[in-house]
Amino acid sequence: MMNFRRTGFIAFCLSVFALIFLSQINSFAQKQSYYQLKVYHLKDKEQEARLDHYLEQAYLPALHRAGIKQVGVFKPANEVDQNHSSEPKVYVLLPFTSLEQFAGLEDKLAHDKKYAAAGEAYIQAAHDKPYYQRIETSLMQAFAGMPAMKAPNLASSPSERIYELRSYEAATEKLHQNKVDMFNNGEIQLFDRLGFNAVFYGKVLASNKMPNLMYMTSFENFADREARWKSFSQDPEWKKMSAMPEYANNFLRADIYLLHPTNYSDI
């Protein structure tokens, strides 16, 4: 009788520990990442070449040493963007596991001797010979429906690949949250089913465009992108979802940027 009780008690304890362990695993799996998108606005190709050298030889290696492994670096795929600007730009996407990691990055870089040596020309650039005109930045939190960034598995060469960055501004904070909910409640799954190779979905926490969300999908080439969006617009599930009155008017403006990855981009 005593052995039976002891066995039952041990089994009970093991089941409790198992539940706690599984709960912790689930909690960790659902932890949402943070993203920083930096857009370098450049004056000319000479600045672009200097910035490329800095990013490839100094910045990305330092980020890797700081524990930030999958850094995306992109450039416009069109000579002129949708705002009729031919200004050279470089987009840098950084994933963070926490806000603490984001806040501590500058301090890590400041104490990285390899970075100081490799990036000296950038760090010590004179006021009349900068590496950029300005830096535009956005801080985002990953959607619950896709809590971490995912590098796509594309077979084409980097020069052919298309990464599509979309920015959706809303008229009010409530409508903005409604669009986020729409993604979490089915739109993300729809993109997955139709092979959009999503890289991230992010709710913008701080930017010059608010309220706002951003997301990035990826394609083998322009033709692949066109085919995927055609299938999306004709999909019965999308037609049903987009016609739901609860999702009406949940974004005001969509900015679309078609990008190629650089040859030194991690994704």
Q: What is the pLDDT of residues 123-173, one digit of tens each?
A: 999 999 999 999 999 999 999 999 999 999 999 999 999 999 999 999 999
Percent of the chain topping pLDDT 90: 85
Cα distances (Å, whole numbers) of residue 84 to 38, 46, 154, 163, 255: 21, 21, 29, 19, 13
Q: What is the structure's pLDDT at 258? A: 97
Q: What is the structure's pLDDT at 79? A: 62
CATH topology of domain 32-261: Alpha-Beta Plaits (3.30.70)
Q: What is the pLDDT of residues 191-230, one digit of tens each?
A: 999 999 999 999 999 999 999 999 999 999 999 999 999 9
Q: What is the pLDDT of residues 15-70, one digit of tens each?
A: 444 444 444 444 445 699 999 999 999 999 999 999 999 999 999 999 999 999 99
> Which candidate, 175, 180, 193, places its Cα nearest to that of 237?
193
Neighbouring CB atoms inside 10 A of 70's CB total 17
Neighbouring CB atoms inside 10 A of 47's CB total 19
Q: What is the pLDDT of residues 67-91, one digit of tens each?
A: 999 999 999 998 655 555 678 999 9
Cα distances (Å, whole numbers) of residue 224 to 158, 204, 219, 237, 263: 14, 28, 6, 21, 21
Q: What is the structure's pLDDT at 12? A: 41
How far apart are alpha carbons 2 and 59 in whole angstroms?
65
Strand 134-142, strand 200-206: pairing = antiparallel
Q: What is the structure's pLDDT at 30? A: 64
| pLDDT of 97 above 50 | yes
- Cβ contacts of residue 207 below 8 Å, gap of 6+? 137, 138, 139
CB under 8 A, 24+ apart: contacts of 60-64: 60/264, 60/266, 61/114, 61/115, 61/118, 62/108, 62/109, 62/112, 62/114, 62/115, 62/118, 62/119, 63/94, 63/105
3-state secondary structure of 146: coil
Q: What is the structure's pLDDT at 23? A: 43
Q: What is the structure's pLDDT at 6? A: 53
pTM for the structure as a whole: 0.87
| pLDDT of 253 above 60 | yes
CA dihedral 258, 262, 263, 267 (to 10 degrees): -70
Cα distances (Å, whole numbers) of residue 139 to 9, 203, 210, 231: 49, 8, 11, 31
Q: What is the structure's pLDDT at 3? A: 54
Q: What angle do CA 204, 67, 95 make, to 5 degrees?
A: 15
| pLDDT of 7 above 70 | no
Neighbouring CB atoms inside 10 A of 108's CB total 16
> Which candidate, 61, 104, 89, 17, places its Cα nearest to that of 255?
89
Peptide bond before residue 211 is cis, with ω within 30 degrees of 0: yes
How far apart are alpha carbons 31 and 97 in whole angstroms?
8
